Each structure stands twice: as C-alpha cells, then as structure tokens.
Structure 1
Amino acid sequence: MYLHGTSKVNDQGHLEIGGVDATQLVAEYGTPLYVFDEALVRQRCREFVDAFRASGLKFQVAYASKAFCVMAMCRIVEEEGMSLDVVSDGELYTALQAGFPAERIHFHGNNKTVDEIEMAIDAQIGCFVVDNFIELQLLNAIAGDKRQKVKVLLRITPGVEAHTHEFISTGQTDSKFGFDLGNGSAMRAIKEAASLSNLDVLGVHSHIGSQIFEVEGFRIAAEKVAGFAVQVRKETGIIFPVINLGGGFGIRYVEGHTPLPVAVYVEAITEAIKENFGNNDYPLPEIWVEPGRSIVGDAGTTLYTVGTTKDIPGVRKYVAVDGGMTDNPRPALYEAEYEAMLANRATEQSEEVVSIAGKCCESGDMLIWDLNLPKVSVGDILAVSCTGAYNYAMASNYNRIRRPGVVFVKDGQSDLVVKRESFDNIIGNDLIPARMKQVSTTR
C-alpha cells in the first residue's frame, strides 16, 4: 500500500498516521474507523491557495464539501482561508453551525427547494450557482420577498467532458446539470438573469468531470468559457467578474493512477484564462475552483477488524471485515479500486491473495478483489487507504449497521470529530403508532 502524507511504518511494525499508531487508534475508538491525516488535508489546501496566489490572478478556492462534510472539516477550510461549496440544507447547516463565514459559502444543486433557498438567503451566503430556468425565477421571487439581491453564477455545460486520462469535446447536452452552451440555452439564461431585478450575475460556472489526470480538458473548457464571455459582452454588454472552472482534480487510489501536482493543474488553468481572455481584450476575471476529492481523498484511511474467512480451493479466499458497503459504497456503486495493508503487521511479506468482503447481507458487498497480504488471522487490522472522499459522505445504515466514528490525527494526537453511532441513534427517529399493541422492551 502506498503511504500518503504522514503515514509510515513505525518501529513496532505498525502503520502510523499523524504520529499515532493505528493499533492504538483501534484500541481507543474501535472499528470500523475513519482516520484523517489533518496535516495532509491542510497541506492540500495550501497547495491550491499558494498556486493561485503565484498566478497573480484574483481567486477563490472553495472546498467541495460533498466530498466530506463535518463541522471540524469546515473549521479547517475556514482556517486555511478557503471558501466552501454546499449542495443541501444539511451541508449548509453544518457549515453555519461550525461558524463558517456565510459570505464565503456557495450553494450548488440542480433542484434546490424553497426551504433551502430561503435558508441560504437568510444566512446571506456569498453566491448561488443557478442550474436551470425554474431556479432563476424562484430565486428571484424569494429574494424579492425578502428584499434582498443575491449573487449568482450560471452553471453551463461547455461541451467538454474529462475523466482520468480521456477527454471528449462534443455536444454533451445529455446532463441533468446546467445550461447548455451549444443549443443556446446558456445565452438565454444570461439574458433572463440580467433582466431579473433581484439577481446580480457574477459570471458562469463549468465542471468537466472527475478524477482528471491531465490538463487539456481544463484548457479547452477555459477557451470555450472565454469565447462565451466574449459573445455575451458583444450581445448584452455584460462583463463577467467571475469564472468558476469547477473541480475534478484526480488523486492516486492504486498503482497506475498518475495525478499531476496541484500547481500544474492551477498553472494550466490560470495560463489558459490569461491567454483566452487577454487575446480578446477582456478584463481578467476572478477565478474560482472547487477541489473536493483532491483535498481529502488521500488523507483518509479506514481501519477494520478482520473477522471470518472462507477459502474456496482453486477459486478464491474471502476475508470478511467488520464494515463494508455501509461505510464505503464506492466499490459496489462503480467498481472503485483501493489499496490496503495489515496495519498491525505492516512489515510482513505477502503470502496469499485474498478478496476483502464486507459484512452486509449483500453478495455485492466487496471492498477489494485480489489483494496481496500476509496470511490473515482473525483480529488483524486492515487499513484501506484513500478513503477520505465520498466514503463517510455516502455512508448508510443498511442492515441497521451503525456508521463509524471519525478521528483526526496530527502531531501524535488523535481527536474524535464524529462519534460512532449508537443503537439509540439507529432508532432515534422511529415511531410506533398508538394503535399497535404496546409491549415492554429491554434496553
């Protein structure tokens, strides 16, 4: 397993993260357990901020909280001088309860509810990223009722889609997000937004994909967005003070993944903006981006305890852990790949190939196929790397399994930032109708 950030194998032959022995973390907090390398999270934040600062452009780096949203994470983002993206009232509430400055919050989503819009306007957030014509009218009406004027970016689909090493530049009209650039809806949306008295149009937002390991897609997107901005200026006189080029910066999950350094992505984006806007005598806009996975992905490790095994001679050996698709649904959803090691036996040589199964009553509950490990024993601690993004965020209570706790580690200290769910949490919202027979319960 590739060791990220402060992770290392200590003198006891154990995995150590943030100066804390993984076996000690398990003894104190139990398993499954999400462990975050706080120093690495902060390093990633600073890499983005420092790279943009070096460009000389005005900028905002907004952490995409959908990747991992808890109050302690919001506090780190605030301390590192970044902005914050939210996509629901729950994420907004988390940020506000953490004391995050509302003026640095951006609200995304293709179907914001009336309650969410009202909550965000009342909190006086910094910006709405508007996704469709219905939202334009709804947002304008609610803002008018509240006698406020709200800042908006319009999400456009620029005709570029990039994933990992590939990008394609076609119509890309088949998306639930945004106003399409190719069929004219983006221009119509700009004109409509400009006519609405309670909206202040800052510019446009685009997002071309995820787990991107190259820069060409970002360059093409910048070119298309700049061309659109010039067209808007020509037809309406509107000049965009802000351009948001989204996120999608890749991380290394397994061998063969080759993400670029943050500074390389940022340099490509900022140089493309300077070139394409400068060539059209257009005032250089403020650049916003939205890293999520690339901030927290490789900073997260999930610790499990090994339980049962099933050896099918000539076929496969299954090793089951005390978690699974409830704390990491990504392999079941889209065959996500991970690396892992035995945290309590980190120096031992591999002896067998096993497949890591979860404990859910679901045949698809598999975390890793064909993993090389020392001969596994009951009670071993399995550490799965790069689980910081979309793992806790997508965790569920399937089979009424309690969601794990979350720990931040730094400089030899561990801090619990999310408690492990209790049985009372599991049934906390359950109700038994009065018409049903009442029975005594033993708790």
Structure 2
Amino acid sequence: MRAHEAGALHGELGSRGPAWLRTPEDVNVILPQLWPTSVARAADGALAIGDVSVRDLAEEFGTPAYLLDENDMRARCRDFLAAFAGCDVYYAGKAFLCRAVVRIIAEEGLHLDVCTGGELATALSAGMPPERIGFHGNNKSVSELTRAVEVGVGRIIVDSVHEIDRLSEIARRLNTKPAVLLRVTVGVEAHTHEFIATAHEDQKFGFSLAGGAAFDAATKILHEDVLDLRGLHSHIGSQIFDTSGFEVSARRVLGLQAQIRDAHGVELPELDLGGGFGIAYTTQDDPAAPAELAKRLDKIVADECEVLRLALPHISIEPGRAIVGPAVFTLYEVGTVKDVDGIRTYVSVDGGMSDNIRAALYGATYSATVASRASSAPPLLARVVGKHCESGDVVVKDEFLPADVQPGDLLAVPGTGAYCRSMASNYNHVPRPPVVAVRDGRARVIVRRETEDDLLALDVG
C-alpha cells in the first residue's frame, strides 16, 4: 500500500487502526468486548472456546463453522432478565433460530418472537410454550394466522388493516379472542442503516402514527370486539446505540395510548418497545449493558406516563442480536494470500457471502484474528474475502493481521451469531456451515453442515 493511501485508510479506521497496535504481539490480543466470554488464547497460541481448541474443532467439524459459546449466550439471557425484572424479554428469533436455541431461551425463562410460519414451527417443535410466543410479520398468511390462533400463541402483533380483518374472521370461526398488539410506526429515524431502520414513515411495517392510521386501527379493533387489544408495539430498527430514539418512540406511542384512553375509555395494559440493541463488531462500537438500557428505558416510560397520567404498562422488549450475536464467531481456513501490486493484501477464506451476507448487503463491519496460532510478525493491513465469484464477497473490509498470515491458518471472525446463519444461502451451490455449541469442554452440533446431497435433494429436474 502506498504511504499516503495507508495514512488515509488508517484515519478512516479510527480506533480499529494502529493506535493500539504498538508491537507485533498486539495482533494476537483478544479484545473481550468483541468475543464470547470463554474465548482466550491457549499456551500454544491457538484460540479456545469453552475450553476446546479451535484446532480440535476444525479437525472434528471442518470449516467454515459457526461456534456458539453456550454459557455466554445463557449468561446474556440472564443479564437481560435481571436488568428488565418484571418485564417480558422476547428473544428475537429472526437473529438466529434452531431447536437448540429455542430450548436454551425457554430454559432461561425468556419469551420468543417469531415472524414466519417456519419460525413458529421450529419453536413449537422444540417445546416452546405457545403462550410465551409473540408472532410478528407484515404479511402473515391466513394459514399462519390460523395456526397461531389454534395453538394459542400469546401475542399476535397486527401490522395492517387486512391482517386485522383476516384475524378477526379466524377468531369468529374458531370462537376465540386472540390477544394482539398493534404495531405503530412512530416516525423515528434511528441512527442505523436504511435497510434495518423500521420506524420511519416510508417503510412497510406497522400503522402510521402521524397519519392517524394507528389510532384508526385501534378504534376498529375495539369497536369490533373480536380481538383482545392488549397494547401497542414499536420497533425503531437494529444495531442502535443511542437511546434517544427509544425516548422519542416511547413518548409518541404513549401519547397514542393516552389518546385511545381519552377517546374510548380504555387504558391498554401493555407496551412493547421492541429491540434493536447494538453489539460490538469492532472497537468503534460501544454498546450499553442491559442494566444501563433498562435504567434508561424505565425512566423514559415512567416520566412520560406521569406526564400523561397513565398507569405504568407492562413492558416487553425484544433483544435478539444482543443475546446471540456476541456469543458466536465463525471459524474459517485461509486458502490464499494475495498481494495486489502493493495496493492491498487479500486474504481469502473458505466461506464468504453465503455464510455472512451482511457486509455485502449493507456494508456491515467485522473484526478478525488468526486463530490457530500466535504470531511475532508485524501487523499487515488486509482485506478478508470469500470464495464466491463476486467482487463484493468481502468478509472483513479492513483488518490488521500478522504479516505472516498464510494458507492453512485458521481465521476467526467474532460477532457472527446474529443474521449470519439465519440469512445464509447456497450461492454458487456452497453448502451452509454447521453451528457447533461448545460448553465446559464439550462440543455438539446443533445445526449440521449441509452436504452436496442436500443441495441436490430439491432439484427434481
């Protein structure tokens, strides 16, 4: 890399740049805010997770592989439950869902948020009590809604007038009164990527507050008296660090709650503030601890209820990424290292955009480290890329790796528990990696690796 280009890039990287890379050994440092709690370098320099070496895991399960620190995930569940005592904590299943994860969150006392029939089927097959399930989605089908009502899903979050009509017809036919929350679009511009901001007016979710659609929908539900309107729901986006957006959202949605009370004499008993709590993917990210989040949100709701003379509603939140994201890292094997005319070094791994689409989809940033050994080589600014036939197949855009990184090295990318396996694909006919849970010196596959036979199973041509 030319000197002026390197200097400019270092400036862009900020705290991920060379400020903390003072010695060659710094490339071996495992920064705790980025990794599951059990991850550390063993005496031989290799990473270990849950007291198991990544070398052993790679030998037994292959690469790429998602490695889940089960104790870490369970601890994050408990942290949210303790911080939000008296509230319902829904794990957002869209972040990553499989039957083992359902059992973990059920055992830890969490509720579960699903948004498709497939996620509901996974939850039920793993024994999640249906009354602890919330069902999201902007276009739930009649069959999905029917099944949700038949099994007794605890809360259905209604998202459109058409859905209210569909659900009302199902309720009449089944002679039941399902509990619902009304999703409100509060007009908050969350400080996040456009694709994961969900509360500004121009998007597909919920009922507009500013245009009066949310109040009209609540009025419709109350007048028809077929659905049990329990409260309001607001979700402003994902990967959010600034609670000011939650403050504005809570103020606006509680204002609607007061408007419903004044117009209809009904004070709705519940309020779901959604999720979207951010995690650290790089050292530039500084997420708040659950206890701090709870303190801020509790104050926001209490202050606004006092102003509006509303009773404090029963609060729900929906962390997904904040629970599973930091508990997982992806383990790859390096295949090639290519220096391109001194401009950039490309480190290619045996996965890529099929197991982590987020970098290509909306420019998500990640960190990486050589996991199979320590190194005394100086740091080298590199780009970690995948094996797919796309120039946008980038895993980590810019990272300092040891200058002696070479084929056969294992490379670990932390923070991949959320929206990596759940958004994985078979692009280029690449089988999806397994998910391996590690706990107290033992490893078990909870989602097996796909095979070529799996790829061909649906191809009936």
TM-score normalized by structure 2?
A: 0.89
- 1: CA distance between counterparts of 2:170 and 2:89? 28
- 2: CA distance between counterparts of 1:196 and 1:347? 69
Contact 1:165 1:212 in 2 (8 A): no
**Match among 259, 265, 290 for residue 318 of structure 2:** 290
Deviation at 1:164, TM superposition (A): 5.3
Q: What SS is found at the alignment partner of 2:400?
A: strand
Per the alignment, residue 202 of structure 1 pairs with: 230
Q: What SS is found at the alignment partner of 1:324?
A: coil
Deviation at 1:70, TM superposition (A): 0.6
Contact 1:164 1:214 in 2 (8 A): no
Contact 2:434 2:447 in 1 (8 A): yes
**Match among 283, 288, 296 for residue 255 of structure 1:** 283
Label 1:335 to 1:122 Cα distance change in 2 as closer, same or farther (>3 A). same
Per the alignment, residue 379 of structure 1 pairs with: 408
Q: What SS is found at the alignment partner of 1:254?
A: coil
Q: What SS is found at the alignment partner of 1:255?
A: coil
Per the alignment, residue 347 of structure 2 pairs with: 319
Deviation at 1:349, TM superposition (A): 4.1
- The count of aligned residue pairs is 425
Per the alignment, residue 12 of structure 2 pairs with: none
- 1: CA distance between counterparts of 2:149 and 2:176? 8
Q: How does 1:67-216 map to 2 (within 5 A)?
A: 67-163=95-191, 172-216=200-244
Deviation at 1:347, TM superposition (A): 4.9
Contact 1:218 1:268 in 2 (8 A): no
Structure 1: gaps of 5 or more residues: 433-443
1:300 equivalent to 2:332? Answer: no
Per the alignment, residue 20 of structure 1 pairs with: 52
Q: Which moved more, 1:272-281 or 1:295-304?
A: 272-281
- 2: CA distance between counterparts of 1:418 and 1:172? 36
- 1: CA distance between counterparts of 2:214 and 2:393? 42
Per the alignment, residue 415 of structure 1 pairs with: 444
- Which residue identity lines up with residue 415 of structure 1 in the other structure? R
Per the alignment, residue 61 of structure 2 pairs with: 29
Deviation at 1:222, TM superposition (A): 1.6
- 2: CA distance between counterparts of 1:27 and 1:313? 35
Q: How does 1:323-402 map to 2 (within 5 A)?
A: 323-374=351-402, 375-402=404-431
Q: What SS is found at the alignment partner of 2:84?
A: helix
- 2: CA distance between counterparts of 1:346 and 1:250? 30
Contact 1:249 1:291 in 2 (8 A): yes
Q: What SS is found at the alignment partner of 1:67?
A: coil
Label 1:259 to 1:323 Cα distance change in 2 as closer, same or farther (>3 A). same
- Which residue identity lines up with residue 242 of structure 2 in the other structure? E
- 1: CA distance between counterparts of 2:47 and 2:91? 29
Per the alignment, residue 429 of structure 1 pairs with: 458
- 2: CA distance between counterparts of 1:347 and 1:267? 43
Deviation at 1:10, TM superposition (A): 1.1
CA offsets per residue over residues 24-83 of structure 1, 9 Å max, x none?
110110000000111111111111110111xxxx41000000000111111111011010
Label 1:231 to 1:351 Cα distance change in 2 as closer, same or farther (>3 A). closer
Per the alignment, residue 26 of structure 2 pairs with: none
Q: How large is the Cα RMSD of the aligned pairs? A: 1.7
Q: Which moved more, 1:279-288 or 1:107-116?
A: 279-288
Q: What SS is found at the alignment partner of 2:191?
A: strand
Q: What SS is found at the alignment partner of 2:413?
A: strand
CA offsets per residue over residues 371-413 of structure 1, 9 Å max, x none?
2112111111000010010000000001110000001111111
- 1: CA distance between counterparts of 2:380 and 2:110? 45
- Which residue identity lines up with residue 305 of structure 2 in the other structure? F
Contact 2:193 2:362 in 1 (8 A): no
Label 1:237 to 1:350 Cα distance change in 2 as closer, same or farther (>3 A). farther
Q: What SS is found at the alignment partner of 1:209?
A: coil
Q: What SS is found at the alignment partner of 1:212?
A: coil
Deviation at 1:261, TM superposition (A): 1.1
- 2: CA distance between counterparts of 1:78 and 1:24? 30
Per the alignment, residue 72 of structure 2 pairs with: 40
Per the alignment, residue 41 of structure 2 pairs with: 9
Per the alignment, residue 437 of structure 1 pairs with: none
Aligned-residue sequence identity (percent) comes to 46
Contact 1:69 1:393 in 2 (8 A): yes
- 1: CA distance between counterparts of 2:300 and 2:374? 45
Per the alignment, residue 436 of structure 1 pairs with: none
Deviation at 1:195, TM superposition (A): 2.2
Q: What SS is found at the alignment partner of 2:94?
A: helix
- 2: CA distance between counterparts of 1:98 and 1:62? 16
CA offsets per residue over residues 287-306 of structure 1, 9 Å max, x none?
00000110111111000011
Contact 1:162 1:208 in 2 (8 A): yes
- Which residue identity lines up with residue 13 of structure 1 in the other structure? G
Q: What SS is found at the alignment partner of 1:430?
A: coil
CA offsets per residue over residues 236-281 of structure 1, 9 Å max, x none?
1111111000001111100111111111111111122122113333
Q: Which moved more, 1:146-155 or 1:369-378?
A: 369-378
Structure 2: gaps of 5 or more residues: 1-29
Deviation at 1:163, TM superposition (A): 2.2
Q: Which moved more, 1:113-122 or 1:201-210?
A: 113-122
Q: How does 1:45-56 map to 2 (within 5 A)?
A: 45-53=77-85
Deviation at 1:165, TM superposition (A): 12
